[in-house]
Amino acid sequence: MTMTRTPVADVPLTAAEVLARAKALAPKLRGRSAEIEQARRLPADVVELLREAGVYRMCWGREWGGPELTSMEQTEVAEALAYGDASAAWCGVIGANSGLISNFIDPDEVPVMFPSLDLATVGVLAPAGHAERVPGGYRLSGRWSFGSGVNHCDWVMSGAFVFEDGEPYASPDGSNPHESRQFVVRGDEVEVIDNWHTTGLRGSGSCDYTITDVFVPENHTLSWDNVKGTPGPLAQPDSFMRSLCGVPLGVARAALDYAREIASTRVDRMSGTAWADLYRVQVVLAECEADYNATRAGVYSSMRRQWEVLAAGGSLDDLTLNERAASPLSWLHAFRTSRSIVNRLYDLLQTWSILQSSPMDRWMRDTATMCQNLTAQDAILESVGAYLLGGKPKFRICLGIVK
């Protein structure tokens, strides 16, 4: 890891250029998928391909010289990358957190931590660590699970509960009896546990990692309720969750195109009937297309409404209950419906799907695994339901609520 990485030559500076490069990269990623899976992490040159495409800088604001992609544009990039390889897309979206983090860090410290906009920041937001208050900062220790991209990152951000003299530390304003924060440490201060042996997303390298008694200065910590940069649509506590749903959508699109291509050339061996003329094939493909179109439209319509309000200077509180609930529900629906689409197409293609050389095999395993992410779990439904009923959501941050 180097913290003096120079900017990538000819790095894209606009959303259109980042998206175009992501789309151009997809065939290369598709061709490397088997290798990526076998490595159980992204090969170093694939990481550099993502960097050269401008993926890691896509969330940086224009005040820092970044392209500042909207949530919709970020999701399009995720879809384009996932059309090639889900693990690469997963790590690319997460690694792009650097620009989002900059909104919650002292502006004077941002260029010190990020001398290049092309640095990747990954980590686990859940407060699984122990942070002891000491003069000037904290001593951080803990073990975190599912650190996607932790093998190749520049910075690692991890959640932890704060303690003082071994006792739980209460927020000074009385808002939290046991404060938790996010702590950003250098990648070389983290020990990776090589335990990522999974059904799918095998190339994401989402290993456990540990941090042991590492000093974290105060200005390398952050909390989601304290925006220190320029207020705006990306300086929001839910901004880290928005574009990840582009990964399952990209996989579903790839599977749909593949299945249609196969069906257009295959002939039933028993009857001699072209698959294109079979009722079963026609109905399954049409139903899957309908589900994909409706699901994708739900994601983008909720994102556009949210962005419209925030870009006009409003806050998430200015959304109606239904509008605010629509975003996390659309993310969950994207994950679950994409998995359903892939499974139905897998069955449609029958024994041609089961070979490891078939992309359907990988897509089935990848969507099954990514649906275990919290974004696709019932905790989202429970939290949104509580919110709509005037209760207290368990997983508040999915609604952009931090207190």
- At the topology level of CATH, where does 15-113 sit? Butyryl-Coa Dehydrogenase, subunit A; domain 1 (1.10.540)
Q: What is the CATH number of domain 243-399?
A: 1.20.140.10
All structural domains of the chain with their residue ranges: 15-113, 121-222, 243-399
* Architecture of the structural domain at 121-222: Beta Barrel (2.40)
- Rg of the chain's alpha carbons, rounded to an integer? 22
Strand 180-186 and strand 155-164: pairing? antiparallel
Contact 214, 185 (CB under 8 A): yes
Residue 7 has what pLDDT?
56
Contact 169, 163 (CB under 8 A): yes
Residue 8 has what pLDDT?
58
Contact 334, 251 (CB under 8 A): no
**What span, in angstroms and rounded, lies between the C-alpha atoms of 164 and 169?**
6
CA dist 202 → 36, 41, 98, 207, 303 (Å): 8, 7, 24, 10, 29
In this chain, the answer to whether the domains covering 121-222 and 243-399 adopt an identical fold is no
Residue 3 has what pLDDT?
45
Q: What is the pLDDT tens value at each position of the chain, 403 positions in all?
A: 334 455 555 566 799 999 999 999 999 999 999 999 999 999 999 999 999 999 999 999 999 999 999 999 999 999 999 999 999 999 999 999 999 999 999 999 999 999 999 999 999 999 999 999 999 999 999 999 999 999 999 999 999 999 999 999 987 777 778 999 999 999 999 999 999 999 999 999 999 999 999 999 999 999 999 999 999 999 999 999 999 999 999 999 999 999 999 999 999 888 899 999 999 999 999 999 999 999 999 999 999 999 999 999 999 999 999 999 999 999 999 999 999 999 999 999 998 888 888 999 999 999 999 999 999 999 999 999 999 999 999 999 999 998 8
Residue 2 has what pLDDT?
38
